[in-house]
Amino acid sequence: MSRKRSRFPPFLNQCFVTSAVSINLIGHGAVLGFAAILLPQLHQPLSDIRTNKSADSWIASVICLTLLIGSFLASPIMGRFGRKAAHYTISVTALASWLTTLLANSVEVVLIGRIIGGLSFGLMLPLRSILIGEYTSPKYRGAFLTTISLTQGFGIFFVHLIGSLLSWRRTALVCLFLPFISLVMILFTPESPSWLVSKGRYDECREVFHWLRGDEENTELEAMIGARTNFEKTRRHQKKLDIKAIVQKPEFYKPIILMVHVYAMGQLSGAALITAYGTTVMELVMNPSVNSSAWMIGLDSQRVVVNTLAIFVINWFKRRVMLFSTGVLCVASHTALATYVYLKGQGVLSSEAIWIPGILLNIQFFSVSIGMVPLPSVIGGEVFPLEYRSLAGSISQASVAGTMFLVLKTFPGLVDSIGISGTYLVYAVLLTYCLSVIMYLMPETKGRTLQEIEDGYTAVPGGVVVAEESGSLKSNGENGVIVSAEAKA
């Protein structure tokens, strides 16, 4: 299928390929939120599947373990077979997950469905930001990457809403159509131009790049091809792969350390907690008689609205400014909630004044929806260098699975030992630590091309390669300098 000419403008083509990713993300948001509607229904007297507290915690958290496995499997698939093949794998696995859940007749089969769903989600974690980051123009990239949190948040809202109206089996049936629709759309999406250039398929890369971007961004295209060409010249003169040299490169380890803390911050912000234990948190923070389901759907609605707002806000402010301002607000809301619950427990505040925790929870979720959840996806789609994008993305995404599992699995135990106020205080301290590390490592990425961001991590001016590569190129008569299209002109 030739893509040299398109009946649609490049912006609409970028919207289409982003939509294929987004529909899958709605389904993965539904996977995350499904436990919150499944567990209460399994405890109903007429339920045909019986469960207990131990099984409940595994149903809520088991997806995190296979999410970890999936995030590492994604790297070889997307690196060797391409981004499109990896996207196909994600959709098929998600279909299998919902079908297994739909037909489940025991807790064990429910867990199998959750395990497969976690595997699909894990495969998607490193791919989602990479796909959108490689498909889209720098001037739209921030907004497109913000749709990751919007669509995932909408998936959580969607499954909570549908699950409050239908049985969990019928909810699973509705959710099954999401990966199916995405699977059909993937048939009409191109391969990533960055992956094509990494395989030396420069003519195909130019063709797809022009289909996606038009003819106005050729400078980025030629710089990307030029950087790859020089890398290949360097690699031909290397006797063997030096793993030690790779892991010592700033462009390899700095983005990984950065994203481990950025992703961990997103999980500690409270997003994962409300998604899986929403009704429990509401009752602990407010009081046991509160209409927790209504509050949960209300916060989900706020999340969708604010995530939509974030698509526009992300283009107004620098990434660092947005991340630190929303991070400080999140820490403040955690601390305020911990203080409120403690004072309520001491009898200083009345448990009837639910408007106080209601406002604090809304402030917390505002910070989550405007920055803590969308920004990790945005930054993750920008900071990894092309050569290590698959591997580095998978390594850093493993922290998502690890942190989410720890948060979901340890939450009941933390509440039993130090109470909900102590739990919120622990999260506030950990968030502060993450912000401190991020402040030191995070570059400003807004408005910069992926190649410019990559060059910035090498600590060398724009066109100059790192020291060991420079020596190899000099021996080949290249003087260690990458000549961009602009320099040639």
- Please state the rounded mean pLDDT for residues 36-49: 84
Residue bearing the bigger pLDDT, 473 or 190: 190
Query: What CA dihedral angle connects 31, 33, 35 and 41, to 10 degrees?
Result: -120
Residue 41 CB: number of other CB atoms within 10 A?
15
Is residue 480 over pLDDT 60? no
- Bridge partners (DSSP) listed for residue 481: 464
* Cα angle: 145, vertex 146, 148; to 5 degrees: 75
Closest C-alpha among 22, 3, 31 to residue 272: 31
Distance in angstroms (rounded) separating the CA atoms of residues 425 and 5: 56
Closest C-alpha among 168, 28, 47, 152 to residue 91: 28
Q: What letters, b where the CB count within 10 A reaches 16 and e where it falls short, cover 334-361?
A: bbbbbebbbebeeeebeeeebebbbebb
- Count of alpha carbons within 13 Å of 319, Cβ hemisphere only? 26
Length of the chain: 489
**pLDDT one-digit tens code per residue, 220-257:** 777 777 777 766 666 555 545 556 666 666 667 778 88
- Bridge partners (DSSP) listed for residue 464: 481
333, burial (CB in 10 Å: exposed 0-12, middle 13-18, buried 19+): buried
Q: What is the pLDDT of residue 481?
A: 35
Radius of gyration of the chain (CA): 23
- Please state the rounded mean pLDDT for residues 384-394: 68
Q: What is the residue-wise DSSP string for 144-171? A: HHHHHHHHHHHHHHHHHHHHHHS-HHHH
The structural domains of the chain, with segments of one domain joined by +, span 10-197+250-441
Distance in angstroms (rounded) separating the CA atoms of residues 187 and 136: 18
Tokens representing residue 396 in the block: 């850093």
479, burial (CB in 10 Å: exposed 0-12, middle 13-18, buried 19+): exposed
Distance in angstroms (rounded) separating the CA atoms of residues 406 and 287: 26
Distance in angstroms (rounded) separating the CA atoms of residues 117 and 312: 31
**pLDDT one-digit tens code per residue, 202-220:** 888 888 888 888 777 777 7
Q: What is the pLDDT of residue 393?
A: 67
Is residue 466 over pLDDT 60? no
Closest C-alpha among 179, 71, 186 to residue 119: 71
Distance in angstroms (rounded) separating the CA atoms of residues 53 and 412: 10
Contact 483, 463 (CB under 8 A): yes
Task: State whether the Cα torsion 203-208-210-211 is positive or negative.
Answer: positive
Superfamily of domain 10-197+250-441: MFS general substrate transporter like domains (1.20.1250.20)
- Please state the rounded mean pLDDT for residues 423-428: 90
Distance in angstroms (rounded) separating the CA atoms of residues 20 and 128: 10
* Amino acid present at 195: W
Q: Which residue is listed with tokens 């199998």?
A: 112
SS3 category, 346: coil
Residue 387 CB: number of other CB atoms within 10 A?
18
Residue bearing the bigger pLDDT, 95 or 12: 95
Residues sharing a CB contact under 8 Å with residue 32, sequence separation 6 or more, in sequence order:
63, 121, 152, 155, 156, 272, 275, 276
Q: What is the pLDDT of residue 63?
A: 83
Distance in angstroms (rounded) separating the CA atoms of residues 264 and 437: 12
Closest C-alpha among 64, 51, 282, 49 to residue 160: 282
Tokens representing residue 213 in the block: 């971007």
Residues sharing a CB contact under 8 Å with residue 240, sequence separation 6 or more, in sequence order:
none
**Largest CA-CA distance found in the chain, in angstroms, rounded:** 78
**pLDDT one-digit tens code per residue, 263-282:** 888 888 887 777 777 777 88
Residue 27 CB: number of other CB atoms within 10 A?
32
- Please state the rounded mean pLDDT for residues 286-291: 78
- Please state the rounded mean pLDDT for residues 317-336: 87
Q: What is the pLDDT of residue 179?
A: 92
Is residue 394 over pLDDT 70? no
**pLDDT one-digit tens code per residue, 298-314:** 877 887 888 778 777 77
Q: Pick from 49-58, 87-96, 122-131 the range whose average pLDDT is largest.
A: 87-96
- Please state the rounded mean pLDDT for residues 93-109: 92
